[in-house]
Structure 1
Amino acid sequence: MRTWTPPEIPAVPGEGIVPKLFNTATGRLEHPAIADGKALLYVCGITPYDATHLGHAFTYLAFDIMQRAWRDAGIETVYAQNITDIDDPLLERAEATGVDWRSLAEDQIGLFRSDMYRMGMIPPEHYIAVTEHIDEIAQAVLELRERGFAYAVPTADAEGEDIYFDSAAAERDSQWRLGDVAPYDQATMLQLSAERGGDPERPGKRGALDPLLWRAARDGEPSWESPVGQGRPGWHIECSVIATGALGGAFTVQGGGSDLIFPHHEYTAAHATALSGTPLAHAYCHAGLVGYQGHKMSKSRGNLVFVSKLLDGGACPSAIRLGLLAHHYRSEWEWNDADLDTATRRLDAWKAGLARHSDDAVSSATVVQQLRAALANDLDTPVMLATLDAALDRGVDDPALIDAAVQALLGVELNPKA
């Protein structure tokens, strides 16, 4: 799948610091394992409808900043992202709007690419749609079944059988254990499974939490012929196959929004471990959810603020980035309409500060050290913004250095090119 043109990232003199990141799976700040000077990152992509709202942007900005931190520390990054372009919510939206699901997905993927480019996000080297890898996903389901990690459940509304992952078998015969990624108790997992695409009460399943691997073809639904029957993939196995196909096993970070911790990331890890015998990733990092008008920003509620509408309305991409970066990436917070004005004023103040001549100018080299230290502390962008507020309020002795550092580390342009 075609991606987008990468932003310019200036080189900043001096040495960056390898960041410590909060690993959801362990509950600790850690340096995820980086082999041969290369960090491998997989971030779950969009289901292509209602793209791109600020909740999306906050998540992808977090991992954009993560890559900027690694690159500043001299670490090469390899980034993979999927597109869930076949899934129940997409099909439901297409049916509700009378649009072909493929056309809806294509339009929304194009909009997402445009938004990411305009926002200055680092693009993935591997940008992969599920529909491009149906054969590989079906083969993985077959392999899981042959190894005893999957089983069939009869269906009343299809000729074939749905195939489910056997959690108990995987816990018994692989390295994975339920809860390896998600720090939740059983009752919470059951609740989240029901809320997030699972079917814990379905008759015929061996375990309530067992997730769907392959959905047998139903009338009116898209499907593909495969060695496990006519049908389409379940959600988690898609990412297992795409992530390991692009990056291999035991890569550096699996990322996404915090609403993906369970069941998605838990079972993506389970499938991959059962298939390969090795863990999916060394660390699992999650961005907080963004609210609006008193509720979590969500497609089902419709309380969405779209990046494209802000940009088309004249908002500066750097101001939008600053509005998001004012919040730590792991925090849960609410966007207010006034936030963009606040961020725009901050951006204007920084530009003015860059041009300020002062007899009491702050050392730019010291400011860059402070920015790097905050970035290395679990990507603490609020501290970085406060550091720049204070320094640029007084003036700095090397404006060009600060300009380059702000662009490289935060993706914010103080002297945008025409």
Structure 2
Amino acid sequence: MGKITSRSPFAPETLAHLEPIAGVRFATAEAGIRYKGRTDLMVAVLDEGTSVAGVFTQSKTASAPVLACRKHLKKGAARLLIVNSGNANAFTGKKGREAVDITVEVGAKAANAERHEVFVASTGVIGEPLEASKFAHLIEGLVADAEPDSFEAAARAIMTTDTYPKVATRKALIGDVEVTINGFCKGAGMIAPDMATMLCFIFTDAHIAPKPLQDLLSEHVETTFNAMTVDGDTSTSDTCLLFATGDASARGQPPITKAGSKKLKAFSEALHDLMKDLAIQVAKDGEGLSKFVTFIVEGAESEAAARRIALSCANSPILKTAIAGEDPNWGRVVMAVGKSGEAADRDRLSIWFGEHCVARDGERAHEYDEATAASYMKNREIVIRIDVGVGKASSHVWTCDLTHDYVSINADYRS
């Protein structure tokens, strides 16, 4: 894989501790799919009655696991999740489909589940056949040995060029019963989610039916994972799955069966906060990054337009390299706004780097000071705010800078 020179400067000293969730158990193994001396296979065993929701890449070259998950999701039930790293099983034709079929068949038998209750995901190199024989024989043992207090191990097993596992946890009340939400995800490069994120798996003991669960996930993905980008490249494998085991009903939680239930308000807020946390963690582990950047766009015609303008900025190589070089080159922001295709009034356009206004009403701000702006750009976290002057809508996007290390990592990814 690509040569990672160092851990992200934003890697936490300690990871959040994720308490066990009733109804889900994990196990990992070293299958040698691509990596040596590290885990690259993970299973999550789920109690009978678990609901599932999902969002997936909109790529026209979606992987075989994504296609299988889309099909299985229609039933809304899950008993087993199987994930491998090192090989994306994408653009692998008939062999790719056969690998998924073997994995699902073996998993269903091991978990005493129906085929549609088995979900699969793969991440890594595109175009290389995935030999299911390398790991299928391990699945039965993993299912039998799975333990509830293994979230961190599960998160580590799905990493590729990540420099640390991304984990998060939240609590919420449904009625007067407290439920837990735990999640982990992976991603550092080829990151520009389109309806989903790299690989993300979220688990809760809440008792929520598939339809309201799906509505929550689909709603919150827009302002979390879809508001984050590393390099503008949407993966073939983007998968985000949310599992609700329902075990909180044993503690008196009233089952939620209807979409839009007011009883889900606190849960919805906690879920959104967890997804936002994970999305920011991914952006803070972008391959080779030195800075975390937030673009805020205001004064747009619509929220969607504001998002597209922010993404135009966040995905601009020439702007991201300027940020890496600590150059307050606001002219590149003007360029990125203009190329977005969205409405913007050139003569009302204003730009701030942090609290420093660098451009106002279509020209350089009279108070602009190069030394002050350059000093701000030395910060590890940068906020660039833009008012395009045509409306009242706003949005945001999280990203990172583009450095020499990003090129080094991706130049020899398959070597």
What is the TM-score with the length of structure 1 in the denominator? 0.26
Q: Which has the higher helix share?
A: 1
Q: Which has the higher strand share?
A: 2
